[in-house]
Amino acid sequence: MSDACGCSHDEPNTDEHGEEREPERLWEVSELRLAAVSGIFLLAAFIAGWADAARPVVLTLEAAALLVGAYTFVPSTLTRLAKGKIGVGTLMTIAAVGAVILGEVGEAAMLAFLFSISEGLEEYSLARTRRGLRALLSLVPDQATVLRDGAEIVVAPTELRVGDRMLVKPGERIAIDGLIRQGHTALDVSAITGESVPVEAGPGDEVFAGSINGTGSLAVEVTTTAEDNSLARIVRIVEAEQSRKGASQRLADRIAKPLVPAIMIAGTLIAVIGSIFGDPATWIERALVVLVAASPCALAISVPVTVVAAIGAASKLGALVKGGAALEALGAVRGVALDKTGTLTANRPAVIDVATANGATREQVLDLAAALEARSEHPLAAAILAAVDDVTPAADVAAVTGAGLTGHRDGHTIRLGRPGWLDPGALADDVARMQHAGATAVLVEDNNQVIGAIAVRDELRPEAAEVVAQLRRDGYHVAMLTGDNQATAAALAKDVGIDAVHAELRPEDKARLIQQLRAERNTAMVGDGVNDAPALATADLGIAMGAMGTDVAIETADVALMGEDLRHLPQTFTHARRARRIMLQNVGLSLALITALIPLALFGVLGLAAVVLVHELAEVVVIANGVRAGRTKPLAITAARPPSVPRTTAVGASR
């Protein structure tokens, strides 16, 4: 919590294993338990006074209520004061002590009781964020079936080793990250990514801990440890980022930090000047009431509550937001820079066109190309192999650096490579057309005769144009950043509806360009890989796309979109803008309250008890308003997504 608030952290509970456990219910928060005890004493004092009990009895009960309530904030306030930090707790402590000196023990007890409630509510709301984040780890099952020495045995996920062959039955949760080696299925990743439509997966596809296997049995090769699986890694990174980007960056704290010492100075001046020109007792009392009236209690709690509610709701949209500062920045963004490969495109190259010559058929061209690519690890190989059913590999396959492949099959010499190394001949116009469409063109030659050209392109995500159109309707300036050549970038940008295109960029070029865009408007960078890390760090807000599989991106970014559906992006922006409006409403209400209460307290219209009551009622109002930020509607995906294609690296330059 913030220094401005002066609130204390509730020490996390521990379970029987000594592990931290966040409060799950209100009564588990120590501040709220103490507030309840304080309230009981206060109620007893009120009943005793109403029954005309002896004054010492009433005073004792009020003093007990005061001591119990004050215990929730006075010790932490004194600790902060020793470090030179002043906060709202400082004002409350001074006001409580002053009230006791003036003989208003009951009013001091009421102040301590109500403020202890606000302390407890804030601690509970922040614990919910930590608890919700760690709840990701509960998605991992307690046991997994693994094949060792030819036998199936059941072990705990912590006992799985890299390279183990894990068996996953239909309906089971996957215990750890891995690669599918056998079997096909539809994975339910809704609990992790927020996507409601199952994702098709087969041999070679990655699977992540917490996913639910569909109808097929799988053999999965373990690729990580339980301590370093995707869920555990995300929890560690986000918690560390929340700690680094603390509450000091939040809007309320930027207002409250200078406000608190200003209030103390004003209270001192009122007490001194009033005592000189009037009754000291009256003006000291009014100075204390002014201190309480000007305390930004509602301001201090309004933003954290809104942040907690909004971040929790964002996780249901498949977005991990790293704390309040990131949420505020997300709501303030007005420009969006999108990386191409893996963000606007699916990072799964596919054959989109085949041109033929010299009497060859489409099937013959693809068959010869696949015969060579079966022995290749080039990024284009997977796309070409996926376009044929059966492959008869060529013999004597050799790679010609920067050009292509050569080999032999059935007594024929076959070659595949880039235009320039092979003469396109009659296919020159087709090759130009393919390249203009943003595809990489490769030629196929059989016995020194060109028989075809194949166009391979990393296709746009099906929802990309829809998302860009939505962002533009919402008032965002959209730009595309890519390391690809200008022709490819321009073709894809035209298809998706982006006018501002920046191509042939190195990672450092992207970062420099983001600085230029930031000079014009608050800009978010959306990327998915290592080459995007400098730009993600440079932007006002970095957003990692498909964060379940990218380490560097999620470490660098402020927001991580867990799924692969780009439609989560505009929905997350809309959610953050609404949350920011609610924050500003709460801040405005809190400042208006302070502005109204100060003159009323200064001229004696309201006493200490009335001011404290108004403040605490205002806290209830801002908390209720902040909770509205947690209301959201998950993304409804009506169209079925296309089956997965085995992932490859991005399409590079032609051979």
At residue 477, the 3 state secondary structure works out as strand
Can you tell me the distance from the alpha carbon of 144 to that of 158, in angstroms, rounded to the nearest whole number?
10
Q: Check if the beta carbon of residue 365 is closer than 8 Å to that of residue 452.
A: yes
Can you tell me the distance from the alpha carbon of 439 to that of 421, in angstroms, rounded to the nearest whole number?
18
The dihedrals phi and psi of 22, each to the nearest 5 degrees, come to -75, 150
Beta bridge partners of 350: 457
Beta bridge partners of 319: 561
β-pairing verdict for 20-21 and 13-14: antiparallel
Amino acid at 258: P
Which residue in 339, 446, 528, 540 is the catalytic one?
339
Query: Within 10 Å of residue 16's Cβ, how many Cβ atoms?
Result: 6
Q: Check if the beta carbon of residue 504 is closer than 8 Å to that of residue 486.
A: yes
Can you tell me the distance from the alpha carbon of 318 to that of 326, in angstroms, rounded to the nearest whole number?
16
How far are the Cα atoms of 10, 20, 176 from residue 13, in angstroms, in the given order?
A: 9, 6, 28
Has 339 been annotated as catalytic?
A: yes
Q: Check if the beta carbon of residue 314 is closer than 8 Å to that of residue 572.
A: yes
Beta bridge partners of 351: 456
Which regions of the chain are under pLDDT 70? 1-26, 87, 121-122, 125-138, 190-198, 234-254, 256, 297, 300-301, 377-379, 401-402, 485, 529-531, 533, 546-556, 633-655
Q: How far is CA 268 from the centre of its chain?
A: 44
> So what's the pLDDT on residue 482?
83
Q: Which ranges of 404-506 does DSSP label H, i.e. alpha helix?
A: 428-436, 464-473, 486-496
Q: Is 221 exposed, middle or buried (0-12, 13-18, 19+ CB in 10 A)?
A: middle
> So what's the pLDDT on residue 600?
92
At residue 67, the 3 state secondary structure works out as helix
Q: Check if the beta carbon of residue 356 is closer than 8 Å to that of residue 499.
A: no
pLDDT digits (tens, 9 = 90+) for 632-650: 765 554 443 433 333 333 3
pLDDT digits (tens, 9 = 90+) for 565-591: 888 899 999 999 999 899 889 888 988
Q: Check if the beta carbon of residue 74 is closer than 8 Å to that of residue 94.
A: no
Can you tell me the distance from the alpha carbon of 556 to that of 547, in angstroms, rounded to the nearest whole number?
11
> So what's the pLDDT on residue 137?
63
- Please name the helix (run of DSSP H) or strand (run of DSSP E) that holds residue 221, with its range, or none: strand 218-222
Q: Check if the beta carbon of residue 468 is closer than 8 Å to that of residue 497.
A: yes
β-pairing verdict for 523-527 and 541-545: parallel
Residue 175: which of 200, 211, 204 has the closest Cα? Answer: 211
Can you tell me the distance from the alpha carbon of 628 to that of 322, in angstroms, rounded to the nearest whole number?
20
Tokens, residue 179: 């690669």
Can you tell me the distance from the alpha carbon of 173 to that of 214, in angstroms, rounded to the nearest whole number?
9
Sequence-ordered list of residues with C-beta below 8 angstroms from that of 147, at least 6 positions apart, any chain = 164, 165, 166, 167, 219
Residue 398: which of 410, 414, 382, 386 has the closest Cα? Answer: 414
> So what's the pLDDT on residue 24?
58
Q: Which ranges of 294-323 does DSSP label H, i.e. alpha helix?
A: 297-316
Can you tell me the distance from the alpha carbon of 655 to that of 646, in angstroms, rounded to the nearest whole number?
21
- CA-based R_g, the chain, Å: 32
Can you tell me the distance from the alpha carbon of 111 to that of 89, in angstroms, rounded to the nearest whole number?
11
Q: Is 278 exposed, middle or buried (0-12, 13-18, 19+ CB in 10 A)?
A: exposed
Can you tell me the distance from the alpha carbon of 492 to that of 470, in angstroms, rounded to the nearest whole number?
17
Beta bridge partners of 301: none
Q: Give the residue carrying structure tokens 């495109």.
A: 345
How far are the Cα atoms of 378, 407, 415, 645 from residue 400, in angstroms, in the given order?
A: 12, 11, 10, 27
Query: Within 10 Å of residue 17's Cβ, how many Cβ atoms?
Result: 6
Q: Give the residue carrying structure tokens 């201190």.
A: 291
Residue 339: which of 551, 118, 492 has the closest Cα? Answer: 492
Can you tell me the distance from the alpha carbon of 370 to that of 456, in angstroms, rounded to the nearest whole number?
13
Tokens, residue 576: 């953050």
> So what's the pLDDT on residue 648?
31
